[in-house]
Amino acid sequence: MDQETGEPAANGSAVALTAAAPAFSGGVAAGALMCLLSMSSIQFGAAFSSGAIAAYGSAGASWLRLAFAAVILAIAVRPPLLRYSREQWIGALVLGTTTALMTMSFFAAIERIPLGLAVAIDFLGPLSVATFGYGLTRRLIWPMIAAAGVLFLAYDGEQWVGNLPGVLFAFGAGAGWACYIMLTKKVGAAFKGLEGLSMSLIVAAVVATPFGFAGAAPNLDGYGLVEMAGLAVLVPLLPYTLEMIALRRMSTAAFGILMSLEPAIGALAGFLILAQP
């Protein structure tokens, strides 16, 4: 039985599925586990990035991550660039551009404000997807409560935490995250296996180059190459791969609800790695 379509599998299709796309049993449960692993990878990867951001700037660190992730996945997947349709190219271009802007905005935010606050603001994106995805237009009270909670986190009783540019970057990342969830669902369905993700990461690396190359390339040495390759696996390669597979097993609304754990994971990572309250 085909896990994605529910149709009886043809002879040899199990081998083909294994070769074309990672297969996980358990449907939604497996998707939920992948979401949890993805969130942990993103938040701890972000917490471990403070040194890279200091060395290369937020845009430079974002570009290096995207470039390494694009190269690694392209080598593994080897997408047939000349065989894709116009619609597939458009999907990859839009998702890749969104991924680049979302990634750069998020790391620009955590450069300026605490990780927990940045993630709390960022979370408003998937919360909106969950709210509207389930048709809960009469329950907009929940996003409003979440926004109030973000304001509570942003004020320590005496002054605002962080600065306005950092908060704006976090809101931009949240908007990008909402678009990313919906686009990843569509691109994942339009391509075989991880080819859509590979194409979008190539586009994302190209889009980020004008913003990050000048700040990163002159300061990069052998150690930096190894460090950034490892960080690229933590964010974005591993989480984006897990999320694309998870979104093949669940709705965007369910995915958005699961993302509600991310602010807590981000706060934990900030506390353990960065000693942020």
% of the chain beyond a pLDDT of 90: 65
Let me know if residue 19 belongs to a domain.
Answer: no
For helices 238-246 and 195-216, the axis angle rounded to 10 degrees is: 150
Let me know if residue 195 belongs to a domain.
Answer: yes
Per residue in 19-60, pLDDT (tens digit) is 334 444 457 899 999 999 999 999 999 999 999 999 999 999
Per residue in 226-271, pLDDT (tens digit) is 999 999 999 999 999 999 999 999 999 889 888 878 888 998 999 9
Let me know if residue 109 belongs to a domain.
Answer: yes
Let me know if residue 7 belongs to a domain.
Answer: no
Range of the domain at 52: 27-274
Nearest alpha carbon to residue 201 among 42, 30, 73:
73
pTM for this predicted structure: 0.84
Let me know if residue 20 belongs to a domain.
Answer: no
Burial 14-48 (b: 16+ CB within 10 A, else e): eeebeeebeebeeeeebbbebbbebbbbbbbbbbb
The total number of structural domains that make up the chain: 1
Let me know if residue 3 belongs to a domain.
Answer: no
Let me know if residue 73 belongs to a domain.
Answer: yes
Q: Which tokens hold the place of 251?
A: 């709705």
